[in-house]
């Protein structure tokens, strides 16, 4: 979401152990093989963010 909104939410230097855990978690084969490509997700979310909300 940081890449979509352009706002830094998570600072790795403030939470080094959490950052290390997230990086290691992303390297687990079952996770790595099933997470969509980052750039494609960012582009999709940017387009969706610009769309007007649906009418109820």
CA atoms of 16 and 10, how far apart (whole Å) = 10
Residue 56 has pLDDT above 80, yes or no: no
Would residue 55 count as lying in a domain?
no
Would residue 56 count as lying in a domain?
no
So what's the pLDDT on residue 21? 95
**Hunting for tokens 């950052």 — which residue is that?**
19
- What confidence tier does 34 reach under pLDDT thresholds 50, 70, 90? very high
Would residue 25 count as lying in a domain?
yes
| Between 30 and 55, residue with greater pLDDT | 30
> Could you list the residue range(s) of the whole structural domain that residue 34 is in?
2-50
So what's the pLDDT on residue 18? 93
The SS3 call for residue 14 is coil
Would residue 42 count as lying in a domain?
yes
Number of domains observed in the structure of the chain = 1
């Amino acid at each position: 979401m940081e890449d979509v909104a352009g706002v830094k939410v998570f600072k790795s230097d403030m939470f080094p152990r959490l950052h290390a855990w997230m990086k290691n978690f992303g390297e687990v084969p079952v996770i790595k093989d099933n997470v969509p490509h980052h750039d494609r997700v960012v582009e999709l979310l940017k387009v969706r963010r610009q769309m007007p909300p649906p009418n109820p």
